[in-house]
Each structure stands twice: as C-alpha cells, then as structure tokens.
Amino acid sequence: VLGSGWGAVALLKNIDPTLYDVSVVSPRNFFLNTPLLPGVTVGTVEARSLIEPVRALLPGKPGDASFYEAAAIAVDPNARIVRCKDESEVTAANPEFTVPYDTLVVAVGAPPNTFGTPGVREHAKFLKEVDDAIDVRRKLADLFETASLPGVPEEEQREMLSVLVVGGGPTGVEFAAELHDFLREDVPRLYPALRDKISITVVQSADHILNTYDERISKYAEEKFARDGIRILTNRRVTNVAATHASVMCKKTKATEKIPFGVCVWSTGLGTTPLVSSIIAAAGQPRRRAVSVDKYLQVRGISPRGSAYALGDCADVKSKAASGGELLDKADELFKRADVDENGAVDKGEFVNILKTLEESYPQIATLTKGAADGALHDILSRFDDDGDGSLDRREFRRAMAEADSRLASHPATAQVANQQGEYLARELNARGRARRNGRVTAEYPAPTKPFEYVHLGSFATLGGERAALDTRGSPLPLDFVSRGAGTMVLWYGVYFSNCVSWRNKAMVVLDWTKKGVWGRDSSRV
C-alpha cells in the first residue's frame, strides 16, 4: 500500500490480515484528517488532534503488517517491485530499497496544482498538508505581531493584514470562514488596535464560489461573505504572484489589477506526482493528471489483472455513465470490429460506422461526436490521425477511445470518495483471499464480485459564524435538498466527529472545540 491518506487508511482498517502480508510505504508516518485542516491555521483545532500514527492503524496484531517511512519513487509492474527512498532527515548509508508485492495499491494522493502560474511556489502558501496549515498559522501570527509594533504606518498595516485566498472551492471558502471567525471573535481581544485594518479577498475562476454545490448554497455563501465583509472576485484568474501582491485578470474584460497581500493561500485544483506520472507511462495510458482505473479500481494497462490498483486523489475513476463499460478496455476488440476489410487500419467510413454503432451502449461516444453531422464525423478521425494517412492504426484508434473515455465525469477528489474506495477494495481483496484460501478458484485473479459504486452522502461547507451548508444532491436520501444555517453546523460537528479515525482523535478534537468556545483560539506562533 503506497500512501497514508483516506483511501489507504480505509483499506488498512478493513483488510483481513490473516489473508495478506501487508506493507505500507509512505513518506509521512501519520494519517491526516484533511477536512479539518483549515481550523489549524487559526488555532480552532491543533495539528496534533488531526493526525494518527500509521503504525497504530496497521491491521492485525503487532508484527502482522509492516510500515516503511519512505517515498515510493518507481514501480516496476513486470518485476512487481516498488523502489523506495528514505527522504527523512536521518538516513542510512544507502537510503534506497525495494519492496516486492503481489498486489499493489497506489493511494499517494495529489499535490496542489499551480497551473504554471509564475511565483506561486515561491510566494504563496498551500493548504494540503499539516505543515502547510502550521506554516499559514505562523505567517498570520507574524503578520499580526509585526503590524502591532510601534511606528508601523497604517497603510503598511493594512497591506500586511490583507489576506488573499485563491480558489473558491470548499478548502478556500472554509479557510476564509475560519479566518473571519478569528477576526470577529479573537482579534478584538488579542489585537484591538488592528480589528478594522484586516481584509480578506477570495479570487475564484468560475462565476460563483462553491460552484460544484447547489446554486442556493453558492448564493447563500456569497451573501454571507458579503455581510461579513469578505470580498469575492469571480471570473478572475491569477496570472502572477509576487512577494507582496498578485496580478488578477478579469476573464471577460482581460483587465488586470494588482491585489496586495500579507499572505496568499493557494487552493485551486490538484496536480500530479512524478510517481503517478511514471505509473501512467508504464501502463501505456495517455498523459493526464491521475492514473486511469477501471470500475474495479484496477490500473488500466498493467497486467496481470488484479495486480495493481489506484484510489483516492491519484486515481481517475469515472461515474456510472456507460452501460457497456469503458472503451479503452475493449479497444483491441472494437478495432477488429471496425476494421471490416481487415487491412489493419480503420478508414473514415469504418470509423463513422463504429461510432454510430457504439453510441447507444457507450454514452461517452456521444460526447466525442456531440453536434457533429454525418459529414463532420469524418473530421473527428483527423484529430487522431497522427501520420495523416486518412485512417487510424491500432495505436491511433486506442487514443480515440481513450479520449472518449476521458470525457466521462470523474468522481470528485474528496475524502468521502477515497474512504469508500478503500473500504470497497478491502472487501474485494478479502473475498479474493478467502476464495483462494478455500480452494474455490485456481486462476491467479478471481473475478471481482461487483464494481465500485460511489454513494454520495452529501457535501458540507463551513461558512463561519457557526453556520454551515449541506448539499445532498445525488445522495440516497429520498429528497434532494440543501440545508443552511446553525442547525446544519450542529450536524457538521456530529459528522466530522464521527469521521475521526480513532477515539484518541475524537477526544482531542472535541477538547479543542471546547477550549475554543471557552477561552478562544490559541494565537501563539510555535
């Protein structure tokens, strides 16, 4: 198991250690409760309350499973080994080693995506790991203490205390809400001279914040932020980040303005890691952000089947949108069907015919041909005809099928999805292990019992002032509804309490919430 996030831990908590010899490789030796991370930045909860040692989560009795604090740097699917490297401060003479496997589970997550924007890595803060949250907390404390020094001009104070949040998704919105609560509840007590000199700006590329939520929630959040004095800039894109300001361009007018900041928090999308890129290449998949997996979470292109899985933020698994499955899995079979004259190539006529044949069973084909008349269907072939010979060879045809598959909606990159994937994979591996142990199968890979199906249980967002929003669209509840306000915040507390992975975490988080309510947030810079 590569990784120690939501997907990996869900797998570890549910795998049967009597069926498998489990090894875990991760550069961090703890699990992190990421949804509560924005609270660490202002002292609502402490970082220690959100982490649980991986060794305490290993399955079975002590010694049944192994943990290696190292980074996985390469996977050899043919030899079935993972090459690892100890990247900690203390290393042995040879920090590299290999771990063999029969079944590989890749759950390494994904780093923040800067979209190549100049200056982001040098001058912005992220909010992805516990060190990121601690770094933001230290920066905020430093800004407040420096702005409180004698002789600092008011204009400089205002620039120092300007907070820029890039990204209007759940992480960016919840950080802005946590910060506003700190300004409203704690700054008047701790920094009374600065209470009117602080500003928060949220920059969002889409036309609304929380744009993946119900429109009513987006509107409610924007109205609440407006009442709270939080500035929201939608349809804007950050084009450059300098040490003390960011250049923000309006997508409609192309006009650019410079927004000063004391701290810039960047929370826009996910990138990829070198390890994931190498796995994508080894599997022969098209270049993309995440590893493409089938409906059983198996990595496409790696054989034998059942030897490699991926889940969580580093995996791209599509929603249930195609009754026939995904095209890339059957590309060779479909190529033979399309190549009617059996000349080893699919010409324009054959390509149009196979597209029409597949549309009913594979809705992703419709996304490829959307709006194209019969004559224009011929033009679609030219997009994949790399050698320009007017036909598609087997490799070019596979690329066309992969492009169609890529247009299916992916599951969201959330802790909820990763947790369900880990639980599902543990059940499948347990069933596979029991079948082998009982001698019911002889093949190396017994067929999975059923594909992974994501069950959406709703999406929360905290909005500050003991207010939260809940979007249940797509959940199993009999009615789709949205919930906003103080009652929803009570529900949020209950859900996130139950999501803590251990009773130790539960106790520490509740204690932090209690301390915050009684004595206020801890503003110390440690």
pLDDT given at position 324: 45
Mean pLDDT on 137-152: 97
Give the lowest-confidence range in 103-112, 302-311, 315-324, 514-523: 315-324
3-state secondary structure of 373: coil
pLDDT given at position 137: 97
- The pair of structure tokens assigned to 338 is 């399309």
Could you tell me how far CA 15 lies from the centroid of its own chain?
23
Mean pLDDT on 96-105: 97
Q: How confident is the model at residue 369 (pLDDT cuts 50, 70, 90)?
A: low
Which position has the token pair 């503003």?
523
Residue 236, beta-bridge partner list: 250
Does residue 472 surpass a pLDDT of 90?
A: no
User: pLDDT tens for residues 1-15?
Assistant: 999 999 999 999 999
- Exposure of 252 by Cβ count < 10 A (0-12 exposed, 13-18 middle, 19+ buried)? exposed
Count the helix, strand and coil residues of the chain and give each as a percent rounded to the nearest 5. 40, 20, 40
Q: Which residue has the higher pLDDT, 174 or 213?
A: 174
pLDDT given at position 516: 94
**Amino acid residing at 352:** V
CA distance 213 to 164: 22
Average pLDDT score over the chain: 89
pLDDT given at position 266: 97
User: pLDDT tens for residues 473-523?
Assistant: 666 665 555 677 788 889 889 999 999 999 999 999 999 999 999 999 988
Residues 502-517 as b/e (b if ≥16 CB within 10 A, e otherwise) read eeebbebbeebbebbe
Does residue 169 surpass a pLDDT of 60?
A: yes
CATH class of the domain at 120-269+457-519: alpha beta
**Amino acid residing at 56:** A
Mean pLDDT on 315-322: 67
Does residue 323 surpass a pLDDT of 50?
A: no
Q: Which residue has the higher pLDDT, 139 or 458?
A: 139
E strands of 288-365, at which residues?
291-292, 308-310, 315-316, 346-347
Q: How confident is the model at residue 379 (pLDDT cuts 50, 70, 90)?
A: low
- The pair of structure tokens assigned to 187 is 């700054």
**Amino acid residing at 309:** Y
Does residue 352 surpass a pLDDT of 90?
A: no
- Please say whether the beta carbons of 111 and 92 come within 8 A: no
Q: How confident is the model at residue 349 (pLDDT cuts 50, 70, 90)?
A: confident
Question: Looking at the chain, which residues constitute the CATH 3.50.50.60 domain(s)?
Answer: 6-27+70-111+271-317+411-437
pLDDT given at position 411: 76
pLDDT given at position 469: 85
CATH of domain 6-27+70-111+271-317+411-437: 3.50.50.60
CA dihedral 207, 211, 214, 219 (to 10 degrees): -50
Mean pLDDT on 81-104: 96
Question: Looking at the chain, which residues constitute the CATH 3.50.50.100 domain(s)?
Answer: 120-269+457-519
pTM for this prediction: 0.81
pLDDT given at position 319: 63
pLDDT given at position 447: 64
User: pLDDT tens for residues 256-313?
Assistant: 999 999 999 999 989 999 999 999 999 988 888 899 998 899 999 998 888 999 999 9
Q: How confident is the model at residue 407 (pLDDT cuts 50, 70, 90)?
A: low
Does residue 36 surpass a pLDDT of 70?
A: yes
Other beta carbons within 10 Å of 228: 17
Question: Looking at the chain, which residues constitute the CATH 1.10.238.10 domain(s)?
Answer: 328-406
Q: How confident is the model at residue 371 (pLDDT cuts 50, 70, 90)?
A: very low
CATH class of the domain at 328-406: mainly alpha
Q: Which residue has the higher pLDDT, 465 or 118?
A: 118
Whose CA is closest to 365, among 337, 396, 335, 324?
Answer: 324
Q: Which residue has the higher pLDDT, 371 or 13?
A: 13
pLDDT given at position 361: 64
Q: Give the phi and the psi of residue 265 in degrees, each rounded to 5.
A: -105, 120
pLDDT given at position 488: 86
Residues in the chain: 526
Mean pLDDT on 30-49: 96
